[in-house]
Structure 1
Amino acid sequence: MKHYEKINTESRFDTVIVADGAFPKGDVALNILRHARHIIACDGAAKTLLNQGFEPTGITVIGDGDSLSEELKVQLHFIQIEEQDSNDLTKATRHYIAQPTTVSGSRIAFLGATGKREDHTLANISLMMRYYREMNIQPVMITDEGYFIPSDGASSFTTFVGQQMSIFNFGCRQLESEGLVWNVFPFDELWQGTLNEAEKTTIKFKGDGYYLVYLTFQGKRHCV
Structure 2
Amino acid sequence: MLNSDVTVILADGEFPSHPTALNILRFCSRVICCDGAAAKLVASGIRNPDFVVGDLDSIDQNLVEELNGKVVHFETQDTNDLTKAFEFAIDSGYQDIVILGATGLREDHTLGNISLLMNYAERANVRMYTNYGFFVALRSSSRIESEKGQQVSVFSFTPDVPISYQGLKWDITNRPLKMWWEGTLNESLGDYFTIEFENAKVVVYLAYMDVKK
- TM-score surpassing 0.5? yes
Partner of 2:32: 40
Match of 1:29 in 2: 21
Q: Which residue of 2 aligns with 1:121?
A: 110
Residue pair 1:164, 1:219 contacting (<8 A) in 2 also: no
Amino acid at match of 1:26: H
Match for residue 85 of structure 2 among 87, 92, 114: 92
Question: Aligned match of 1:110 in 93, 99, 111?
Answer: 99
1:220–1:119 distance in 2 versus 1, CA, 3 Å: closer
1:192 aligns to 2:185 (yes or no): no
Confirm or deny: 8 A CA contact 2:36 2:59 kept in the other structure.
yes
Q: Does 1:215 align with 2:210?
A: no
1:78 aligns with 2:71: yes
Partner residue of 2:147?
160
Contact 1:162 1:219 (C-alpha < 8 Å) held by counterparts: no
Please list, as runs of the form range in 1=range in 2, the aligned pairs for 1:135-150 lying within 5 A after superposition.
Answer: 136-150=123-137
Q: Do structure 1's residue 130 and structure 2's residue 122 form an aligned pair?
A: no
- Give the residue type in structure 1 aligned to 2:104: G
Distance 2:201 2:58 in 1: 36
| Distance (Å, rounded) in 1 between the aligned partners of 2:82 and 2:50 | 15
Residue pair 2:132, 2:211 contacting (<8 A) in 1 also:
no
What letter is aligned with 1:45? A
- Residues 162 and 220 in structure 1, CA contact (< 8 A), matched pair in contact too: no
Task: Give the fraction of aligned pairs with identical amino acids, expressed as a percent.
Answer: 39
1:53 matched to 2:45 = yes
- For structure 1, which segment, 167-176 or 28-37, has the greater mean C-alpha deviation from structure 2 after superposition? 167-176
Aligned partner of 1:14 in structure 2 is 6
Amino acid at match of 1:46: A
Kindly indicate whether residue 162 of structure 2 is the aligned counterpart of residue 174 of structure 1.
yes
The separation in 2 between residues aligned to 1:201 and 1:75, in whole angstroms, is 46
Alignment length (residue pairs): 207
| Residues in 1 aligned to 2:114 and 2:149: alpha-carbon distance in whole angstroms | 24
Q: Per-residue CA shift, 1:36-82, capped at 9, x if unaligned? A: 111000011000000011444x4200111122233211222111111
Deviation at 1:159, TM superposition (A): 0.8
Conserved? CA contact 1:108–1:137, under 8 Å: yes
**What is the distance in 1 between the residues matched to 2:64 and 2:210?**
43
The TM-score normalised by the length of structure 1 is: 0.87
Q: Counterpart of 1:188 in structure 2: which amino acid?
A: K
CA-CA distance at 1:13 after TM superposition: 5.2
Listed as ranges, the gaps of 5+ residues in structure 2 are none
Moved over 6 A (4+): none
Give 1:160 shift: 1.0
Q: Distance in 2 between matches of 1:202 and 1:43?
A: 37
Q: Deviations over 1:73-127 (max 9, x none)?
A: 122211111111100000000000011x33xxx2210000011111001111111
Which stretch shows the higher mean deviation, 62-71 or 15-24?
Answer: 62-71
Structure 1 residues without counterparts, runs of 5 or longer:
none
What TM-score, normalized to structure 2? 0.91
